[in-house]
Amino acid sequence: MNNLLAMKFGGTSVGSAARMKAAGDLIALEAAKRPVVAVVSAMSKITDLLLDVAKHAEADDQTAIDGGIELLEARHFEAVQELLPATERLRVHEQIEEITGDFRRIVSGMQMLGYRPPRAVDEAIAVGERLSALLVSEYLKSIGLASEAVNASEVIVTDAVFGNASPMLRETREKAEAKLRPLLDRGVIPVVTGFNGATADGRPTTLGRGGSDFSAAIVAAVLDAAELWIWTDVDGIMTADPRLVPGAKILDEITYSEAAELAYAGAKVLHPRTLAPLVEKKIPVWSKNSFAPEKPGTRIVPALGAGNGGARAVTSMANVALVSLEPANTGVGGVHVMARAIDALDSAGVELLALSSSSYRQSFCLLIRKEDLEAATQAIETALALELAHGYVHGIEVDQNVGLLAVVGEGMRGFSGLAGRIFTAISREKVNIIAIAQGSSELTISIVVRRDGLEKAVRAVHAECHLA
């Protein structure tokens, strides 16, 4: 079915009855022309709420648990009231209660244990998506379309890394063929829960916060969809964060690699892992605004046409920290120390945002998210315990007063003089550059600057690269 359209709706795009209607109507519009599979996030803020209740369960705070569940049900009951005809409401209320009943059961288990096992957390937080999928699917039915809500735990097969699972595409394809294809063949619109999956032996998992984009890409890839449309609340992917750079503009087109680099470097348009499943099949993606569907949005494609040289966008991350390590003398292999430190970060699940080292690999620094700092220093200290204890490696230094700026563009490759202009633009603002990293693909130049100079530097680079 190569004209299949996959459509994903984020939390704000299904955040209320009005938004669910808008989403359902966008689905209906396309479903009149071709087969559609929808993937939905939980209603905005619901995942946070579910996670909070799980915490309260661990702490055995009954009042907070009850309050949270009440809020959860109220938000969805309220949506049903506005979304569905009176004749359907009671039935859907019962279905909501069935799903929230699962949540209550998991939460009381946590309360009893005084502990939140990661797999139970994953099952608990998938409830948000199960509820929104139910409601969107019911709305589609109420306007005369055939639809079925599908729990992705029956479709997306993952490894057992709870909270941040990765899909197993071959197994997922089999399940999608068995579960989703027959629906599509019968003209039924599946509304699949974003964010969650299950291991091959059925244990519930989630794909990481914001993972519904990733879910949609997985579903699109295994069903060989023709396109994936990702509906959010912004007009598309921009040359910079418009809150920092008032002149930032929407990009018409961007490549998979550029979009992925931007996502990893802090642009909040797409979940960073989203595009990987689509690359092999070259499935194009549109990032569109469900609040302004008439706007074209940004098209994400395998490669750009000619004339798109130079930098395309600049992004930044403020909540980062620089961790530096330095062997005490040249007798200690810097590369070896670096390898061990990086390996330790990887094992601890800490993502390395940028890495830079001196020419003899003797002193090097690792850029990570601030939220990962404790896990990162602990992991490195454990991995290098012996070297640290014997003074072969100087103590780990942490600098939290930094920010990351990343300039992205496939066309920067072989574009001489660009790096020089970027550095000059930053120093003209009297912002000190602390570290620089550029991979040999020349797709991204990452620059670490003092935190208080970050915004200024972003604006300067945006202007220097004529991105507006």
- Binding interface with ligand ASP (CB under 6 A): 11, 41-42, 47, 128, 194-195, 209-212
Q: Residue 40 Cβ, how far from ligand ASP at the closest point, in Å?
A: 9
The Cα 156–Cα 3 span in angstroms is 22
Residue 103, binding choice from ligand ASP, Mg ion, none, Cβ under 5 to 8 Å by partner class: none
Q: Residue 213 Cβ, how far from Mg ion at the closest point, in Å?
A: 8
Q: Residue 456 Cβ, how far from ligand ASP at the closest point, in Å?
A: 32
Q: Residue 195 Cβ, how far from Mg ion at the closest point, in Å?
A: 8
Tell me whether residue 41 or residue 362 sits nearer to ligand ASP (CB atom): 41
The Cα 192–Cα 184 span in angstroms is 12
Tell me whether residue 76 or residue 271 sits nearer to Mg ion (CB atom): 271
Of 213, 196, 210, 304, residue with least CA distance to 252: 304
Tokens of 96: 């909501």
Q: List the end-to-end C-alpha distance of the chain, in Å, as a whole number.
A: 40
Tell me whether residue 126 or residue 418 sits nearer to Mg ion (CB atom): 126
| Residue 194 touching Mg ion (CB under 5 A) | no
Q: Sign of torsion, CA 260 266 269 270? A: positive
Amino acid (1-letter code) at residue 160: A
The Cα 194–Cα 37 span in angstroms is 12
Among 4, 7, 8, 11, binds Mg ion (CB under 5 A): 11
Residue in the shown chain whose Cβ atom is closest to ligand ASP:
212
The Cα 311–Cα 53 span in angstroms is 44
Backbone angles phi, psi at 232, to 5 degrees: -130, -155
* CA distances, 302 to each of 40, 175, 212, 258, 275 (Å): 25, 27, 21, 10, 10
Q: Sign of torsion, CA 265 271 277 282? A: negative
Contact by Cβ (8 Å): 10, 233:
yes
Tell me whether residue 10 or residue 190 sits nearer to Mg ion (CB atom): 10
Q: Residue 10 Cβ, how far from Mg ion at the closest point, in Å?
A: 4
Tell me whether residue 41 or residue 239 sits nearer to Mg ion (CB atom): 41
Using the contact rule CB under 5 A, the part of the chain among 39-47, 174-182, 348-356, 420-428 near Mg ion is 39-47
Tell me whether residue 69 or residue 216 sits nearer to ligand ASP (CB atom): 216
DSSP string covering 96-125: HHHHHHHHHHHHHHHHHHTS--HHHHHHHH
The Cα 466–Cα 468 span in angstroms is 6
| Residue 41 touching Mg ion (CB under 5 A) | yes
Using the contact rule CB under 5 A, the part of the chain among 33-41, 79-87, 126-134, 153-161 near Mg ion is 33-41
Tell me whether residue 274 or residue 362 sits nearer to ligand ASP (CB atom): 274
Q: Residue 320 Cβ, how far from ligand ASP at the closest point, in Å?
A: 21
Tokens of 266: 């802090």
| Residue 211 touching Mg ion (CB under 5 A) | no
| Residue 287 touching Mg ion (CB under 5 A) | no
Using the contact rule CB under 5 A, the part of the chain among 5-13, 144-152, 164-172, 350-358 near Mg ion is 5-13
Using the contact rule CB under 5 A, the part of the chain among 35-43, 65-73, 196-204, 237-245 near Mg ion is 35-43
Contact by Cβ (8 Å): 252, 258:
no
| Residue 10 touching Mg ion (CB under 5 A) | yes
- Give all strands (DSSP E) within 351-432, no chain letters: 354-357, 364-369, 397-408
Q: Residue 357 Cβ, how far from ligand ASP at the closest point, in Å?
A: 34
Residue 111, binding choice from Mg ion, ligand ASP, none, Cβ under 5 to 8 Å by partner class: none
Q: Residue 123 Cβ, how far from Mg ion at the closest point, in Å?
A: 19
Tell me whether residue 13 or residue 356 sits nearer to ligand ASP (CB atom): 13
The Cα 63–Cα 60 span in angstroms is 9
Q: Residue 271 Cβ, how far from ligand ASP at the closest point, in Å?
A: 7
Q: Residue 354 Cβ, how far from ligand ASP at the closest point, in Å?
A: 25
Radius of gyration of the chain (CA): 24
Residue 209, binding choice from Mg ion, ligand ASP, none, Cβ under 5 to 8 Å by partner class: ligand ASP
The Cα 320–Cα 265 span in angstroms is 11
| Residue 239 touching Mg ion (CB under 5 A) | no
Tell me whether residue 50 or residue 431 sits nearer to ligand ASP (CB atom): 50
Q: Which residues contact 334 (CB under 8 A, 6 or more apart)?
A: 327, 357, 360, 361, 362, 363, 364
The Cα 84–Cα 271 span in angstroms is 31
Tell me whether residue 162 or residue 195 sits nearer to ligand ASP (CB atom): 195
What residue ranges bind Mg ion (CB under 5 A)? 10-11, 41
